[in-house]
Every structure is written in C-alpha cells, then in structure tokens.
Amino acid sequence: MDRITLNTPLDMHLHIRDGEMLREVVRYSSRYFSGGLIMPNTIPPITTKEDIFSYRKEILNSIENDIFEPYMSIFFKSSYDSQFLKSVRDDILVVKLYPSGVTTNSDGGVVSVDLDEVGDTLSAMEQLDIPLSIHGETNGSVFEREAEFLPTYELLAKTFPKLRIIMEHISDRRTIELLEKYSNLFATITLHHLAITFDDLLGGALQPHLFCKPIVKSGKDRDALRDLVLNGHPKIMFGSDSAPHPKEKKESSNGSAGIFSAPIVLQGLVELFEKHDKLENLQPFISENARKIYRISPPQKSITLVRKEFQVPTTYGEKIEIVPLFAGKKLNWSLEDV
C-alpha cells in the first residue's frame, strides 16, 4: 500500500496554549484534523463561560479557512454547581480535572481528589451527562504516579457509575486492568507513549524534548499500550497531548514538561500501524472510538498520506522555535491532501 486516507481524524487531547504560541501551532492541528479537544490549562485557566467563548474565538480567528472543530473544555473547580454546569454544558465537551501541581499550569487544580471536596460537582456532572477528563497522577515518585492514582479512578468509577470518565494519556500498563473493569472508564493514548521509553529520554544523554508528564515508561509499558491500540480496543482514543514550549524553555535548568507532536502525529501513527500490520485498526483509534465515546459528530474531512520519505524539521515556528517529536529523523509517510 502506497497511499492511505483517514476519515475525520480527531485529536482528543490537545494543548495549543494562547497568544503568540497558539498562532504558531494551531495550524498544525487545524489543517489535518477534523477536530481537537482543547485543554484548559492556559494562564490563567479557562474557568468561566466568558473564558470559553473568548478562547474559542481566538482559536477560530487563527485557523483561517481550515475545517476544524475546537471542542472546548473547562478547568475543574469544586465550586462548580449544577446551575453553572448547566449554563456551560452546550459550550464544552468535558470538565478537565488536574490534581494541583502534577503538570504544566496545574497549580490551581484540586488539592485532594476526595468525595468531600469534589463529590457535589461530580454528582452534578453525572446528572447533566458531562464527561470528566482527568490527568491521573499523584505527586509521588515519578514512575509510580499514575499507578498511585488508580485507587482514585476506581473510587470515582464506582461512586458515579453513569459518569463517563476519561483517563488521559495513560502510560502505565497497570492502568489497563482498571480500564477493563469499569464500563464508564475510557482512555486516551499518545503517539509518544506508543513510540518511546525512558531509555530514549535518559538512557544515554538527557533528551529534554522527550520530557513529558506522565513521564514515558518502560518497554513493557509501551508494548502493553501498543497491544491495546493496535488491536483496536474500543475504549481507547487518540489524544496527542501535543504540548509546545519554546526551545529555550525545554533546554533550561528547569526544563518544561511537554512533547510537541502535532505536525508529525499522523505520519508517525501510520508508520507504527503499518509496521505491525494493523492499518485496519488505525481509523477507529484516530476517529471512530472518540465519536462513539463522546457522542459527537465532527465535520467531515479526509486526509491522505502517501509513502514518501518525510524529513522531520529540527524546529517548527516562525517567531518561536519549537522542537518536535522525532526532530531531524526520517519517517516513511508524508501528508498529501485534505
């Protein structure tokens, strides 16, 4: 096969920041995706109806004529009551919960994910059928943070059985058992957690542009995630977690967490699925599963990739230098048509 067409690809976990950075990076998603779930951890975070409208307007003004639906989210606050949630229900796809301090721009998140603090808000979300998206990590040992959060996922899944809960960017094979156990748990998986391990990050010289949260794990974890995705698990969606930072912020004494992958994720996914002879399962992962889980009808778009060598640039951006995943490497597939 020398050509593959993807129908209505979706990125269900996308950071585009705001201001100048947004204008630099949003086109890499809006050009080749039908829609993306936009994360709300900007500075300041998206917490009001006015914030949602303003952020959506900024995105739409920056994508020119691209067919792209920015699915909006709002930053979880335990003060959200039923009246407020009802007022924003039609303007958002999810409410995104961040434990405080676990990742970029999460300091205003939930200090303790227990029912005394978050139960009333989650109950209102369940009644209004608003999905809950979670960055599921503790502040513990870096390789154990996701596993340490699993009891919280289980508590929420059992307490709110009608609440759709999305475990974002899962990276630890121990999470899979819980995903299988509860019908209201779903997950996103990134390209980088399918492609690289901590040996790529720090096995030789430290590679700061591969530093992300959750941190990339072992080969066994990567292979377990690949098995889920490549075999077409219906509860798994693609979410890039593409998270741009200026080159100088990544290559500093206090390097920022986040991998910028938006320009190369489709090429990388086609290469991965083809290598394992599973191209038939790429379409559900990149689109159909998300449409079913989130009950959405995104605008139709077809993206064609051709078997043609693609040299990944060392940086992207006109005013801000941003280093991408696979910088400087060659991929076997190139984007062709929209």
Out of 11, 51, 221, 241, pick the active-site residue: 241
Answer yes or no: is 173 within a domain.
yes
Q: Which residues contact 94 (CB under 8 A, 6 or more apart)?
A: 37, 73, 74, 130, 131, 132, 133, 166
Averaged over 285-309, what is the pLDDT?
A: 98
Residue 74, domain extent: 11-265
Answer yes or no: is 303 within a domain.
no
Averaged over 157-180, what is the pLDDT?
A: 98
Band (pLDDT 50/70/90 cuts) for residue 102 is confident
Q: What is the pLDDT of residue 188?
A: 98
Asked about 172 being catalytic, the answer comes back as: no
Band (pLDDT 50/70/90 cuts) for residue 338 is low
Answer yes or no: is 280 within a domain.
no
- Checking if the pLDDT of 337 tops 70, the result is no
Residue 69 carries which side chain, given as an amino acid letter? E
Q: What is the pLDDT of residue 134?
A: 97
Answer yes or no: is 281 within a domain.
no
pLDDT digits (tens, 9 = 90+) for 6-27: 999 999 999 999 999 999 999 9
The rounded radius of gyration (Å) of the Cα atoms in the chain is: 19
Q: What is the pLDDT of residue 85?
A: 98
CB atoms within 10 A of CB 277: 8
Please count the structural domains in the chain.
Answer: 1
- Checking if the pLDDT of 280 tops 70, the result is yes
Average confidence score pLDDT of the chain? 96
Answer yes or no: is 161 within a domain.
yes
- Checking if the pLDDT of 326 tops 90, the result is yes
Q: What is the pLDDT of residue 116?
A: 83
- Checking if the pLDDT of 104 tops 90, the result is no
Distance in angstroms (rounded) separating the CA atoms of residues 122 and 18: 28
Structural tokens at position 268: 């990388």
Averaged over 225-246, what is the pLDDT?
A: 98
Question: Element (H or E) spanning 97, and its range?
Answer: strand 94-97
Answer yes or no: is 3 within a domain.
no
For the domain that residue 168 is a member of, what is the CATH number?
3.20.20.140
Q: What is the pLDDT of residue 108?
A: 81
Q: Half-sphere exposure of residue 39, counting CA atoms within 13 Å on the CB side? A: 28
Answer yes or no: is 338 within a domain.
no
pTM over 0.75: yes
Distance in angstroms (rounded) separating the CA atoms of residues 201 and 213: 12
